[in-house]
Structure 1
Amino acid sequence: MCDPGNIKENLNGILKSVAEKLNIENYELVPDETGNYGDGFASHFYTGQVKNKDTGKIINVAIKKSPSSKEVDFSGLFRSEIAFYKEVFPRLSSLQKEHPTLSKPFVNIPEYFCSQPPPLTYIAMENLQPLGYTMYDKAKTLDPSHLKLIFTVYGRFHACSFVLKEQNPEGYKELTDKIVDEFSKLLNIVIAQIESSFKGAFRNVHEETEKDLYEKTKNIPDNIKEVFLKAYNYDGKFDCIIHGDCWSNNMLFKYTCENELEDLKLIDFQLLRTSTPVHDLSSIFYSGASKKDFDKLTEYLQVYYKSFEETCKGMGVDAHKIFPFEKLIEEWKKNALFGVLMGIYLWNMKLLPKERFQFLVKDPDMPKEKKKQIWKDMMEEMYRSEGYQEKTKAILVHAVEFGILD
């Protein structure tokens, strides 16, 4: 986080860069010095406006900055997201524009303005809130309309890199070579949290009354590192560029005046990487869907595949040849364990009000051991809660029923 004395000056400098990027010469800068932490640890947000004095147009800007931390280096995460906005999306956008018959392209991200790599790290993009976009209540499960839209949008997104790989393998390799897997650098931290979360969920599995579930999950807690790494590392042939951090807080939704769902934008590409599309889909599904919707998984995969197929067709590629629906089902059974584990972990973040844990990053001088103990106490309380037990049990039951855990 910036030194409070320098926040206004810093924000004005960023807004000036936005004005210059948009070729606005006569402008007024309006920074908002009230910062806000996201629901994770890796970003601090500010907003501001660039007012064009000649036209009266107002550009609403969201500014994402790296927080101060003595424990974690966030610079790689920001480099990854900057690479998405400067390299990856422009290439996928250009590919889509080469095919005018594509009626519904993937355009579901905020407009990117400018950025600065470490050490002066920031990303400036379109602030979607004044346009009516809002975040879904993270403590609630996603309803069918939201799930269908999410699966539709990811069908378009994933199809773009599948098409690029099919039509221009060298171009796909050149683009993906620029992507650095920042998630892999955080695995020790993530695995420790997943181990704790899974053990918390496993407490609610009863050997005597749930023998099959117990037998198929009992060895995971003590072997969580091996299990997670196997789930994380993808060695199949259906790789594509994935979001990598696919949960509801990295999505913004827009509604009509009648409160009907209208649009979706994806945000936060810090964990961008190449992998199976199932890693994206299973993460949002198991961290967002209800038990009732778990039983309709095949229907949601059909929604995804219809969108994937239409996008491929619009760019002259037969989806059935490059990624048949039957292979998508197989991929889910083989690779959705990643989403199962992430879902169990993410429900910690979703059910715990952010005010209860974000003071840990707001106080960079708090002793490390004290932070650990506070976090441990909060997690213990979470694992005992009815909401966490109910949601994680449903995930495990479905994982066994669908053949992910066998």
Structure 2
Amino acid sequence: MLPEWLTELYIQSKLRIYYKDNGLKVLKLWSKPASGKGDNWVGVMTRIHVDFQRSNENAVQKETYLLKEGCSKDAPQSKLFIDYEVYTREMDMYEFVLPKMSEILLEVGITDKMHANAICVDREHEIMILEDLAPLKYINADRVKQLDLSHAELTIDMLAKFHAAATVLKQRHPESMPPKLLVNYFSRDRDGYKRVFTGLFKALLRYVKSEPKLESRYYHKLERTLTNLMEYAARAHDVNDQDLQTLLHGDCWTTNIMFQYDSQGQPRSVVPIDFQFSVITSPVLDLHYFFSTSLQEDVRIRQLELVQRHYYALRQNLEKLNYKGNIPSLFEYQLEFQKRHFFAVFVSLVFQPFMVYQGEVLGEFVDFYENTPQAIKFQDSLYSTAKAHEIVAKMLPIFDAKGLLDDQ
């Protein structure tokens, strides 16, 4: 259901500005939910259907748009998202940052679609009305099956363009990058997410303790890791003046990227969506996040090659855009990826189990971290699936061999 104030006249006024047509007339407005239970912890998506006429046309134009609202202010997580400036961050991205990045890429003939267009960013009502990508045949890939090599390479190339444009924008117009973009999940001056992430990590510990082979090798190391979980992840995000810094998507996984396909069913273009957690830090963190959440196993084991692909594409785009800063060598970039590898531990073992979850126990956001019977049941269910068991059994030996489960 649309808010009472979001009327035909309201939409008409916004569409007149967007289409630069003061005679545009809205004839009909209706809506359908675009997100379901479990999809709206951060916000609510509603698909708006609008019939309208342009002033110079007799034909009725039928379009759909996506209304994006924050979660209810009564929701327990509302204060958390406000503290991390989730909503205003995404508004800034769609209204100011992303259009400027697209303009920079256009300077060198890169016309790739890098984001949905913002029809309206309304800070008074704390909503955005965005272009609906579905009519353009963009769809999400299967989050449980995850992505094959062709999807992965296309996404890595997109991220290289995204990172290059953001790097150049940051250099040319540093004022366009507001301070909120320096805030991440693990910023030391905020502790709101600590309860969420440690709650999930404790569920991992309960699962590991229930498996004798895992318990004997990993339980005590993971128990010590829990004590320093947020600090180790914060260190992975720390950058200095010598580091290559850019604006990251910040939440790049299968649900937040949409693909177009050719007639043979092969992906031919990709667009990122959802920029609530975009942050300025090292670009390799987008790679760690993407690799740890979204790749099929035969693709994930090729990380060195995928980092190399991203590096060469990033360097090529930076050179095209006449970037004036220092570009690391491939060797230095691979070291940078390894130096920040603890983030992969966190994402693989804490995020990925609920990203691929298909169980029957549905929870609210508070169930990620509360200590109630319902919350514990939900948390434990995330680690009860065959997919979660596979993730934990496969990744723990790798992380342990790299020394990432030892005291850092």
TM-score by length of 2: 0.82
Q: 1:308 aligns with which of 310, 314, 327?
A: 314
Q: 1:208 to 1:248 in 2, by over 3 A?
A: closer
C-alpha contact 1:83 1:178 (8 A) present in aligned 2: no
Following superposition, the deviation at residue 176 of structure 1 comes to 4.3
| Counterpart amino acid of residue 48 in structure 1 | I
Contact 2:199-2:369 within 8 A present in 1 as well = no
- Does the CA contact (< 8 Å) of 2:170 and 2:176 recur in 1? no
Distance 1:189 1:13 in 2: 43
Query: Displacement of 1:315 after TM fit?
Result: 1.2
Residue 218 of structure 1, CA deviation: 6.0
- Return the letter of the residue paired with 1:63: L
Q: 1:367 to 1:231 in 2, by over 3 A?
A: closer
Matching residue of 2:179:
177
Distance across 2 between alignment mates of 1:19 and 1:84: 20
How far is the alpha carbon of 1:242 from its aligned partner?
A: 0.8
Q: Which residue of 2 aligns with 1:36?
A: 35
Quote the offset at 1:84 in angstroms: 0.4
Q: Does 1:10 align with 2:19?
A: no
Counterpart Cα distance in 1 of 2:184 and 2:336: 23
Shift of residue 277 of structure 1? 0.9
| Contact 2:97 2:176 (8 Å CA) reproduced | no
- Residue 139 of structure 2 corresponds to 134
In the alignment, is the contact (CA less than 8 A) between 2:196 and 2:368 conserved in 1? no
The answer (yes or no) to whether the contact 1:194–1:344 under 8 Å persists in 2 is no
Matching residue within 18, 43, 62 for 2:66: 62
Q: 1:61 to 1:208 in 2, by over 3 A?
A: closer
Match of 2:346, SS?
A: helix
Q: Do the aligned partners of 1:348 and 1:379 also contact (CA within 8 Å) in 2?
A: no
Matched, 1:23 2:20: yes
Kindly state the Cα deviation for residue 143 of structure 1 after the two structures are TM-superposed: 1.2
8 Å CA contact 1:198–1:341 kept in 2: the answer is: no
Aligned counterparts, 1:369-388, within 5 A: 372-388=372-388
**Aligned residues of 1:134 and 1:253 also touching (Cα < 8 A):** yes
Counterpart selection for 1:255 from 261, 284, 293: 261
Residue 100 of structure 2 corresponds to 91
Match of 2:278 in 1: 272
Distance 1:71 1:209 in 2: 34
Quick one: which of 186, 190, 198 aligns to 1:192?
198
| Structure 1 pair 384–325 and aligned structure 2 pair: CA distance change class (3 A) | same
- Taking every aligned residue pair, what percent have the same amino acid on both sides? 18
The corresponding residue for 1:155 is 160
CA shift, 1:93, in A, is 2.6
Count of aligned positions:
388
RMSD of aligned Cα (Å): 3.3
The whole-number CA distance in structure 1 between the counterparts of 2:342 and 2:368 is 32
- 1:110 is aligned to 2:116: yes
State the distance in 1 between where 2:342 and 2:224 align.
14
Distance 2:214 2:182 in 1: 46
Rounded to whole Å, the distance in 1 between the matches of 2:152 and 2:214 is 35
Q: Which runs of 5+ in 2 are unaligned?
A: none
Q: Does 1:282 align with 2:291?
A: no
Q: Calculate the TM-score normalised by the size of structure 1.
A: 0.83
Other structure's SS at 1:155 match: helix
In structure 2, distance between residues paired with 1:108 and 1:9:
31
Q: Secondary structure at the match of 2:181?
A: coil
After superposition, give the CA deviation of every residue in 1:176-213 in whole Å (9 maximum; x if it has no partner): 436362634542244324423542564488669995x7
Q: AA paired with 2:138?
A: Y
CA deviation after TM superposition for structure 1 residue 173, in Å: 5.2
For residues 23 and 147 of structure 1, what CA distance do their matches in structure 2 show?
38
